[in-house]
Amino acid sequence: MKEFSSSHHPLLQHLFRSEYNKMTAVLCRHFGLQQMQLAEDLVSETFLKAVETWNRSGVPENPAAWLYTVASNKTKDYLKRAKTFETKIAEALKTEEQQETDIFFTEQHISDSQLAMIFAICDPVNSAESQVCLALQALCGFSVEEIANAFLTGKETIKKRLLRARAKLRNDQFKIVSMSDTVIQSRLDVVLTTLYLLFNEGYFSKTYDQMIRKDLCLEAIRLTLILTQHASTNTTSVNALLALMCYQSSRLDARTNDEGETVLFEQQDKGLWDQDLIDKGNYYLVNACSGNEVSKYHLEAGIAYWHIAPENERKWEYILQLYNELIVMEYSAVTALNRTFAFAKVYGYEQGRVEAEKLGLEGNSAYHALLGYLYASTSLSMAVKHYDAAIALVTSAAERRTLLREKELLEKAASQ
């Protein structure tokens, strides 16, 4: 995804983030990934045209529709004048799915194009990690840095992975075409991983100054919801993932204060929780439990459910039990730290500290933030020490402000 200068019109920045990938998906469905650069260039030219026109004539009544119209016209103009049309593209457009040369940016066509593109990109010609990387970039608009954060790896590694993935798809004569149910099922796990990572970046962004990016959370929910509307993809895992997203999204307004700092779970104003989203989460969780499958999304949805469920004296025991199952199914540092927090809630903060220190994640900011929290009630000096370590390691400005606030509160308490 190309960058868009911060000096451009603020509305265009928002539209670039929300519409660029939808427009690119429609054009890629039309041309195929061999012409992905062309699709990206046409969409970029559309936004540059908007900068020029809107600065001169003002913002149109329907900005998004204006962008779609210009993109459609630019595509038609290109097809008329491009010398390579007859030799390189026309044959591809003769397939059953691509007989029309008109570009339609209806809501349904955009959704269908995005869904078709994500399944097409998740081609086993590439490794599962490469499939997810490419889908996050091409469909979700992630920068290389955002993908690197999602995979906890370096940017150069991601750049190489993306280049290889695109090359393999081009060499494999990649096309966005209808797939059999068998092919769709074989690719669904990677698609769900992509949507899960998209949501996570919105729920807790480590790249941007704002810790929560609702646009990404909503986009992940929208795309996952599309999966529930097709018989071949309306699986229990899809419903479990959607339940998880609904539960987590229900608390977004309560998770930060007016300064953009994180509000700890126990300090959140429950009146700000979105009951409608909680109800939707309950609905999809019930759907997810209709079979015998238990995926990581089932376990995480169960954990999220207990976080927003009415008070229950065994609440943290249930959460810890689910984390125990999750960490056996798929270990990660994040899961291990979250499990330790639940462990401390059940067995006490002292035992929680012992459990946390076993992890040995000294290079992880969340590890030190957790120990800072657990030490706060017994050793202010140790708590401050760990918060200092967390602050030194953190990359997000919003997260740094939150940690500094907690440290200052402890130092204030120590001075009294």
Distance (Å, whole) CA 33 – CA 25: 10
Side chain identity at residue 68, one-letter code: Y
How confident is the model at residue 207, as a pLDDT? 62
The residue ranges of the chain whose pLDDT is under 50 are: 1-7, 85, 95-101
Domain 310-416 sits in CATH 3.40.50.620: no
CA-based torsion, 321, 322, 327, 333: positive or negative? negative
In this prediction, residue 275 carries a pLDDT of 96
Distance CA 198, CA 221 (A): 10
pLDDT tens digits for range 341-351: 999 999 999 99
pLDDT (0 to 100) of residue 112: 67
pLDDT of residue 153: 82
109 close to 26: Cβ distance less than 8 angstroms:
yes
Query: What is the pLDDT at residue 320?
Result: 98
At 350 the pLDDT is: 96
pLDDT at 1: 43
Sign of CA dihedral 98, 100, 105, 111: negative
Domain ranges for the chain, please list them.
236-252+268-309, 310-416
The DSSP H or E segment spanning 345 is helix 333-347
Distance CA(8)–CA(16), nearest Å, equals: 11
Give the CA-trace dihedral at 251, 252, 257, 259, to 10 degrees. Answer: 170
